[in-house]
Structures are given as structure tokens and as C-alpha cells.
Amino acid sequence: MAAGAASALFILDIKGRVLVWRDYRGDVSSLQAERFFTNYIQTQGDSDTQDPVVYDNGVTYMFIQHNNVYLMTATRQNCNAASLLLFLHRLVDVFKHYFEELEEESLRDNFVVVYELLDEMMDFGYPQFTEANILSEFIKTDAYRMEVSQKPPMAVTNAVSWRSEGINYKKNEVFLDVVENVNILVNSNGQIIRSEVVGALKMRTYLSGMPECKLGLNDRVLLEAQGRTTKGKAIDLDDIKFHQCVRLARFENDRTISFVPPDGAFDLMTYRLSTQVKPLIWVEAHVERHSKSRVEITVKARSQFKERSTATDVEIELPVPGDAINPDIRTSMGSAVYAPESDALSWKIKSFPGGKEYMLRAEFSLPSITDEEAVPERKAPIRVKFEIPYFTVSGIQVRYLKVLEKSGYQALPWVRYITMAGEYELRLV
């Protein structure tokens, strides 16, 4: 079943007036769209609560806002809304690539280029090329316009629209970073309410020609399909999303990740793990009021990962009363400073090995006298930031990364692993 096509694409100003209009199928007029949209903005008001997909009088409108302009498609067919909204976001990326920033003024200054881009990026209402670096090879703004007659780059006539031909490097290298962000929320009773790991395989490729890359992970489904034993080494990944260069049919067939990579940096794959994760750095805080005008905070920070790993650039942000002054702070490791502008104490530890526990004691004066029956103010959580190199929570491993190219050159693959704190909050104070 073919996905439906867009009838027209509109770029409108903040009041809903059409600035740029490209008609692809001739069944939605600019007057009709402008009348609908100006009316819609007036009735909806706040842009944060507007629905991005609206049906009106036989036409479905899909739009996004960027700075002081709206980008909108209109269609009379049953379209894939997510696909067209993604196309609008890609359109924003391309305009930003050409004009530095997308706003009404930059559009008015570049009408010719805008229409050229709209002609190449969508054909008869179907999205075509959305890679800015490929488009800029044959649609050149006046500043870069060459006198020679332009041939479309091979990538446009090629099945591989994200990579140009003729790329050449003296040294062929691939860098793969496996980055995992740990999101944890602990409530005041010490129970873990939310726990997830969001991972990404970030690549930077500096490869000549049209290389074919193959990547193998310790993915349970793949290893079992190959008849290998999976003694605790294999992992289950959820919500896997791939870059468009990955051959999905091949992955679904035999779980092999094979692709022709774009040149430079891109995210090859993202994934999620929803299994319960033990907090890698556990923080306990005890607040003791010695009198109405003096408070003491005792903090223990404990690393709950193996001793062979070390967390770096650890920063623990502890909330303190808003009127606290004259801090006296002592730490068993690292340094701590009072940041009155954010009502917090920032404790920084450069290197935090696994299986270690460090202490912080801080004493503050409280000059303002509060009513004992006053409602206690809502306390901010303890926030933790850290990085643990050469370590992943999920246990994901890159088993191999092969690069094959018809000229037969040897490429150097570099793989590294890193775990970072994402939204890491403990409501323990």
C-alpha cells in the first residue's frame, strides 16, 4: 500500500499568512489553507497546546513551528502523518544548513533557493532527498554558485541518497562510541520509581569510496539464531531505531546490521533497556537542625559498580534552604562549593572508583525565623552527573565491525564505551 502524498506545502508567518507556497497536486489552494490557518491560530491561541494534525473540510493539515514561521503540509489523501511531520523537521534542518537560521527574514532573502529546494526535496507530494550535504552539492546559494554547468551528484541518481561518490581519505578510519544514558528517579523512601537506560551507537566515518559496513552485537536473538550458546553474555534490546542507511530487511531476516555509512558523524542506532537498574552512584543525605538558626547536612556517596571501573567528573547537587549563609563544608574527597543562586551545594569528585564511599559535612546558618506551623517548602531532589568510561550498564558489546570496499583497503575501527547520567534524581532529603 503506497503512503498518501502531500497536496501542497506552505510556509506561513506567525499570523498565519502564506510566505511561500509550493503546489504539488493542485487540489488545495493557498487561499483555502491561509483562511483555515489564520482562523485556527485565533481560536487555538497558545502554540504549546495546538494539535500538529488537524482535519478541516476534507483536507488534513500537518504543521510545525520554528522561530517565527510555521511549516505546513496539506493533503486530501490518507497520509502517514509521522512521515510528513518528519519531512517538515528535515526541511527545517536543510534551511538552517543554507541560511544559518530559519526565520521570516531569511526566507524573504532567499526565495529563489527556497523554491529550488522545495522542487528537489518533494516530487508530486512525495518526499525525496532530505540530506543537506547532498543537496548543497547541486543547489548552491549565490555566494557559492559556480559558473560550470551543474550535474546532479551521483547520490541523487543513486540508491544511496545519504552518501556521495568519490570520497577519498589517506587514512581510512571508523570511530564507534557506545553511549548509554542512565535515567533514575528514587523517591523519599529510597524506592526506585523510574529506571531505564537509553543507548546510542554514535559513529564517525572517514572512509573512501562506497564502503559496506557490518556490525555484530551480543544480541540474544542473533546469537540464538546462529545456534550459539548465550550464557548471560547476550542482551535484550527494546525500541531499536536505526539510521536510514541500515538495511532493515537484512536485519529482520538474520539480525545482521549492514549499511553503507554517511560520511562524517551520525547516530547509527538508538535503543532502550527497561530492566531495573541498580543506581550506579547512591547518595544519602541526612539533615539535622541544631537550633532554629543552624542546620547540618551529612551526605554519603557510594559507588555501586565493580572496582575495576571508575566514574569521572562526578557532580552531586544537593538542595539547601533558600536563606542559608556562612557555609562550613568538609569533604573526604573532592571539593564542594555553595551556589546560593540555585540554593544548592555542588560537590565535585574528579575520580570516583567502584566500591568506594565518600562523605561530606556542611553546616549553615539560617538567619530568617520561620513559623513552626508554616507549610514546609517543596524540596528539590539531589541531582547526580557522572561519566564511566569503558563501561556499559546493559552489557552491550560490539563483537565485530567490518569494513568492505571494492578497492580492498584496510580500515581501522575504533570502539569505545561510556555510561553517563541522564535524568538522575534522588528525592531523599
pLDDT > 60? residue 79: yes
Partner residues linked to 288 by β-bridges: 296
> First and final CA of the chain: distance in angstroms?
56
Strands 53-56, 398-404: pairing kind = unpaired
Q: Which residue has the higher pLDDT, 16 or 221?
A: 16
pLDDT value of residue 16: 85
pLDDT > 70? residue 49: no
Give a yes or no: residue 3 inside a domain: no
Average pLDDT, the chain: 85
Question: Is the same domain home to 14 and 125?
Answer: yes
Please write the tens of the pLDDT for every residue from 358-403.
999 999 887 766 555 444 555 789 999 999 999 999 888 898 999 9
Question: Is the same domain home to 115 and 27?
Answer: yes
Strands 398-404, 382-389: pairing kind = unpaired
Question: Is the same domain home to 122 and 141?
Answer: yes
Give a yes or no: residue 244 inside a domain: yes
pLDDT value of residue 148: 37
Render the burial of 397-415: b for 16+ CB within 10 Å, e for the rest: bbeebebebeeeeebebee
**Tally of CB atoms within 10 A around 304:** 11
CB 422 within 8 A of CB 236: no
CATH, residue 367:
2.60.40.1170
**Tally of CB atoms within 10 A around 394:** 20
What is the amino acid identity at position 317?
A: E
Alpha helices (H) in 56-159, listed in sequence order = 81-99, 104-109, 111-121, 132-135, 154-157
pLDDT value of residue 395: 87
Give a yes or no: residue 357 inside a domain: yes
Domain count for the chain? 3
Which among 37, 82, 81, 43 has a CA at the least distance from the CA of 57?
A: 37
Question: Is the same domain home to 19 and 71?
Answer: yes
pLDDT value of residue 343: 86
Give a yes or no: residue 162 inside a domain: no
pLDDT value of residue 370: 58
Name the pLDDT band for 311 (thresholds 50, 70, 90): very high
- Could you give the CA distance from residue 339 to residue 415 in angstroms, rounded to a whole number? 38
pLDDT value of residue 147: 38
Which among 282, 221, 281, 207 has a CA at the least distance from the CA of 251?
A: 221
Question: Is the same domain home to 209 and 351?
Answer: no
Question: Is the same domain home to 85 and 38?
Answer: yes
Please write the tens of the pLDDT for every residue from 226-280.
666 555 566 777 888 999 999 988 888 877 899 999 999 999 999 998 778 889 9
Name the pLDDT band for 144 (thresholds 50, 70, 90): very low
Name the pLDDT band for 169 (thresholds 50, 70, 90): very high
Question: Is the same domain home to 57 and 111?
Answer: yes
The parent domain of residue 124 ranges over 8-148
Q: Cell numbers at residue 423, please?
A: 535524568
Query: For residue 294, what is the DSSP state?
Result: E
Question: Is the same domain home to 187 and 288?
Answer: no
pLDDT > 60? residue 131: yes
* Stated pTM of the model: 0.65
Question: Is the same domain home to 273 and 403?
Answer: yes
- Could you give the CA distance from residue 1 to residue 123 in angstroms, rounded to a whole number? 18
Contacts of 134 (CB under 8 A, 6+ apart): 153, 155, 156, 161, 162, 164
Please write the tens of the pLDDT for every residue from 96-113.
888 888 888 888 888 888
Q: Which of 107-116, 299-308, 315-324, 364-373 has the highest mean pLDDT?
A: 299-308
Beta sheet of 257-259, edge-to-edge order = 257-259, 212-217, 398-404
pLDDT > 80? residue 314: yes
CATH, residue 117:
3.30.450.60
Please write the tens of the pLDDT for every residue from 330-358.
999 999 999 888 888 999 999 999 999 99
pLDDT > 80? residue 1: no
What is the amino acid identity at position 244?
A: Q
CA 224 from centroid of its chain's CA atoms? 31
pLDDT value of residue 146: 32
Backbone angles phi, psi at 95, to 5 degrees: -60, -40
Name the pLDDT band for 3 (thresholds 50, 70, 90): low
- The upper half-sphere exposure of residue 180, i.e. CA atoms within 13 Å in the direction of its Cβ, equals 26
pLDDT value of residue 21: 92
Tallying the residues shown for the chain, one arrives at 429
CB 343 within 8 A of CB 380: yes
Give a yes or no: residue 1 inside a domain: no
pLDDT value of residue 149: 43
Strands 344-353, 335-339: pairing kind = antiparallel
Query: For residue 219, what is the DSSP state?
Result: B
pLDDT value of residue 48: 62
Give a yes or no: residue 156 inside a domain: no
Determine the 3-state secondary structure of 282 from DSSP: strand
Question: Is the same domain home to 113 and 140?
Answer: yes
pLDDT > 80? residue 193: yes
Give a yes or no: residue 119 inside a domain: yes
Question: Is the same domain home to 297 and 333?
Answer: yes
